[in-house]
Structure 1
Amino acid sequence: MPAPDLAPVPKHITGFSNPTVKYLRALRDKKNRKRAGQFLVEGLRLLEDARSVGRIPQMLVMAESNERAATGHAVLARLVDAVSEAGGEIITTTPDILAKITGKENAQSVAGVFDEWDTGLARLERNAAPIWLVAQALRDPGNLGTMLRTGDAVGAGGLILIDDCADPFSAEAVRASMGAIFTVPVAQARWEAFLPWLRSGPGQLVAASLRKAVPYRGAPYAAPCFVLVGNESQGLPEAYEAACDLRVTMPMRGRADSLNAAVAGAVLAYEVLATLGA
């Protein structure tokens, strides 16, 4: 008689100096994330969003109270089963150690470690959607996460990060994306690589701009439309704007001279969708 399949016994960690704890804490730093090719995600909702689209963590870390609750919590139980079936590692620890790992005093009671994925332009299919989001030198991880969330909301083909942007796999960006890091393809490239890629096929590049721009409403958008926003404080370099097919501006009725970069991208994206009838 074959032996029954047994779920792996969770590894229990009680010491702050444990090598696994040190490794997980190190993933809060971009340099260490890139070296390891992994990133940390905190919270059951984000982990369930990942599981629902087939992204399973390589490691699941739970506070002891959550381990006891797993049998009675359907979402957590599904996650534990998925990690076990994928051959991942399940770890239990104390709430204090989990807080140390995540760097948050009021840490949620579950976290997961995922492998980073390919963010090259070559994996994108430009005809997959009528609209794409592009951000140049976006430095705020919160803005980056918000653009990912916008991309999910408008059904964008993906978010393309140009030049030196915040890390999309940072804890702040992942949290701000509200799970969209798992549903919206992300690519990273220098401008010198992005522009030839864009011009190698169909694609209209539209910049939110103040230079020789037309009103954003009623502008002649065309699919696939790549909506480009610039750095939070400096905007887009003039040469980048000159390379765009269309430059549009949004009216400022108050004292502010511009919108937040992520907000501008969202407003423009919905106008593009309305024009395209998408």
Structure 2
Amino acid sequence: MTARHVITGFSNPTVKRIRSLRDKKHRRREGRFLTEGLRILTEARAAGHVPETLVLSDRADPHPLIDALEQDVFARGGEVIETSVDILEKLSGKSNPQTVLGVFDDLPTSLDAIDRSAAPIWLVAQEIRDPGNLGTMLRTGDAVGAGGLILLGDCTDPFSVEAVRASMGALFTQQIARANGADFLTWLRAGPGQLVGTSLRTDTDYQAPNYMPPVFILTGNEARGLPEDYEAACDLTVRMPMMGKADSLNAAVATAVMAYEVLNQLRRT
């Protein structure tokens, strides 16, 4: 087994490079992203993704999952770094950092890589700006057996530390694609797929239609919802009943409600 590389100084160039991955422009330049926590790293390993660099706290208690991660990283020619909690805090940006961090190569995000027949449900997000919402959508997609999440327009970065953390490892089980609206619609209409948008400008209850897989559930921006041209491109637009004073649900919550309605219909048939 290859030896760990011990780092004790804040000015170490590897520390600086890893810390820079908290910034979007550096992630894009490096083609890598940062992941924190043993649970997420273990989920990534189970999905066949192993970090190229594994960073461990020198105070971490022995754990078989850490041992397994370390062995896999070495087996694939990666690097394992042992460092202090103070340096881990600098890397993660948290005052109480996780004891394990990983640096991964970017995941593919090409729309052409999506196989729509691979799953009956797909999630589509139009200009979702909150990384917590995006990560939660990925987690929902994993929960309902969706194939992945397609990001349209100016969405937040799915590889930000906040989005990765909110996904709880689903980032590694869900395919992710990025596209503009026109390219997505051209791709969608080239094969089977029912596009269902959530909207306040319709009277159709979300439980009324018969959903036909593959179903693409389209959720709009948190503040503005779906633009009218996107709604016009949908096969169906639906709304969820709002019994209180609020006029809409959080975007990630609305996506989850819709995804489970589609899943339940498919389970019954």
Query: Do structure 1's residue 159 and structure 2's residue 149 form an aligned pair?
Result: yes
Q: Which residue does the alignment assign to 2:99?
A: 109
Q: Which residue does the alignment assign to 2:219?
A: 229
5+ residue gaps in structure 1? 1-6
How far apart are 1:109 and its partner, in Å? 1.0
C-alpha distance in 2 between matches for 1:201 and 1:158: 17
How far apart are 1:264 and its partner, in Å? 0.4
C-alpha distance in 2 between matches for 1:62 and 1:273: 39
How far apart are 1:59 and its partner, in Å? 0.2
How far apart are 1:170 and its partner, in Å? 0.6
C-alpha distance in 2 between matches for 1:35 and 1:126: 30
Q: Which residue does the alignment assign to 1:23?
A: 17
C-alpha distance in 1 between matches for 2:81 and 2:89: 14
- The one-letter amino acid paired with 1:8 is T
Q: Any idea what SS the aligned residue of 1:65 has?
A: coil
How far apart are 1:10 and its partner, in Å? 1.0
How far apart are 1:129 and its partner, in Å? 1.1
Q: Any idea what SS the aligned residue of 1:214 has?
A: coil
C-alpha distance in 2 between matches for 1:212 and 1:23: 49
Deviations 1:61-115 (A, max 9, x none): 111122xx34xx1111111111111110011111101110111110011101000
Q: Which residue does the alignment assign to 2:235?
A: 245
C-alpha distance in 1 between matches for 2:11 and 2:28: 23
Query: Do structure 1's residue 100 and structure 2's residue 90 form an aligned pair?
Result: yes
- The one-letter amino acid paired with 1:103 is G
User: Is residue 218–residue 275 contact of structure 1 (8 Å, CA) maintained in 2?
Assistant: no
C-alpha distance in 1 between matches for 2:26 and 2:7: 22
From 182, 188, 192, the counterpart of 2:178? 188
C-alpha distance in 2 between matches for 1:114 and 1:176: 17
Structure 1 runs of 4+ aligned residues shifted over 4 Å read: none
Query: Do structure 1's residue 11 and structure 2's residue 5 form an aligned pair?
Result: yes
C-alpha distance in 1 between matches for 2:57 and 2:256: 37
- The one-letter amino acid paired with 2:247 is D
- The one-letter amino acid paired with 1:46 is I
Query: Do structure 1's residue 42 and structure 2's residue 36 form an aligned pair?
Result: yes
Query: Do structure 1's residue 206 and structure 2's residue 159 form an aligned pair?
Result: no
Relative to the length of structure 2, the TM-score reads: 0.98
Structure (1 or 2) with the larger CA radius of gyration = 1
Q: Which residue does the alignment assign to 1:62?
A: 56
C-alpha distance in 2 between matches for 1:103 and 1:83: 24
Q: Any idea what SS the aligned residue of 2:163 has?
A: helix
How far apart are 1:8 and its partner, in Å? 1.3
Relative to the length of structure 1, the TM-score reads: 0.94
- The one-letter amino acid paired with 1:74 is P
Q: Which residue does the alignment assign to 1:134?
A: 124
- The one-letter amino acid paired with 1:27 is L
5+ residue gaps in structure 2? none
User: Is residue 50–residue 56 contact of structure 1 (8 Å, CA) maintained in 2?
Assistant: yes
Q: How many residues align?
A: 268
Alpha-carbon RMSD: 1.0
C-alpha distance in 2 between matches for 1:213 and 1:125: 32
